[in-house]
Amino acid sequence: MNAALCVIARRALLFACAITLLGGLAEAQQYTITDLGHISGNSVNDLGEVVGTRFNDGSGPIHGYLWTKAHGFQDLGTLPGNPPGGQYSWAVAINHNGEITGVSGAPSNGYPHPYIKTSVSQPMQDLGLIPQGSWGNAYAISNAGEVVGSDVLTYGDSVAFYWSKATGMKVLYHPRGGRMTSAAGINDVGQIVGVCQVPDSTSPGTLFWRACLWAHHTSIPQSIGTLPQQNSSTATAINHSGEVVGYSGNPSISHAFLWSVHTSMIDLGVLDPNGFSNALAINDAGEVVGFVGVNSNNPNYRGFVWTKAGGMKDLNHLIPANTGWVLQFANSINTSGQISGAGLLHGQNHGFLLTPR
For residues 112-125, give the mean pLDDT: 96
pLDDT at 61: 81
28 pLDDT tier (thresholds 50, 70, 90): low
Write down how long the chain is: 357
1 pLDDT tier (thresholds 50, 70, 90): very low
pLDDT at 27: 57
Quick: pLDDT tens for 161-176.
999 999 999 999 999 9
**Distance in angstroms (rounded) separating the CA atoms of residues 81 and 105:** 9
Radius of gyration of the chain (CA): 22
Give the global pTM.
0.90
For residues 186-202, give the mean pLDDT: 92
Q: How far is CA 255 from its chain centroid?
A: 15
Strands 112-117 and 192-199: unpaired
Quick: pLDDT tens for 242-299.
999 999 998 888 999 999 999 999 999 999 988 999 999 999 999 999 999 987 666 7
Element (H, E) at 277: strand 275-282
pLDDT at 309: 95
Written as one string, the DSSP assignment of 170-228 is EEPPPPTT---EEEEEE-TTS-EEEEEEEE-TTSTT-EEEEEEEESSTTSPPEE----T
- Using CA atoms in the order 58, 59, 65, 68, what is the torsion angle rounded to 10 degrees? -150
Quick: pLDDT tens for 91-104.
999 999 999 999 99
Quick: pLDDT tens for 222-235.
999 999 999 999 99
CATH architecture of 33-356: 6 Propeller (2.120)
